[in-house]
Amino acid sequence: MALDEQQLSILLQAGIEKASELLEHDGGFLPFGARAKPSGEIQFIQLGMEEGETPGSLHRRLGEMLAAEAGRGELLGSALVAETRISGEADTPALAVLIETIGFSRSVVVPYRAAAGKVDLGSMVPAEAEPVVFRN
């Protein structure tokens, strides 16, 4: 069973809110995941970096872990959340969220400004994306 548009929106917003909290509290974050369980519960997954691991390889490891769970039918949707930068004159910091369910995959980039422990989010920019978790 796939998540509907409203459920995907809730999962996306949960990932963005968690990232904002981490930015406000810690000033940054490592890539993390969110999974929507068949019960309707959303769980966050934060893994530690292994020796020699980069944020990119941590992001891939999270995707592989979620893909294995999706393959076993243990989740209905996922979000992979990471920090990124939008290249340009200002080299703007942004959140990158890959939101997925069965038959649906989108990347959403959200530019932000952080100052004095407060994060101001810009407009979401969605784009089509190749699935990582629900590939089959």
- Helix, coil or strand: residue 56: helix
* pLDDT at residue 89, rounded to an integer: 65
Beta-carbon neighbour count of residue 115 at 10 Å? Answer: 7
Q: Which long-range contacts (CB under 8 A, 24 or more apart) does 86-90 make?
A: 86/111
pLDDT digits (tens, 9 = 90+) for 109-124: 999 998 888 999 999 9
DSSP state of 134: S
Average confidence (pLDDT) over 57-66: 96
pLDDT digits (tens, 9 = 90+) for 71-102: 999 999 999 999 999 887 678 899 999 999 99
* pLDDT at residue 43, rounded to an integer: 96
Amino acid symbol at 24: E
Contact 8, 77 (CB under 8 A): yes
Ramachandran angles phi, psi of 15, nearest 5°: -65, -40
* pLDDT at residue 134, rounded to an integer: 96
* pLDDT at residue 102, rounded to an integer: 94
Answering whether pTM is above 0.85, one says yes
Instruction: Tell me the C-alpha to C-alpha distance, in Å, between residue 6 and each of 9, 10, 84, 101.
Output: 5, 6, 26, 12
Instruction: Tell me the C-alpha to C-alpha distance, in Å, between residue 1 and each of 4, 63, 75, 134.
Output: 9, 20, 9, 12
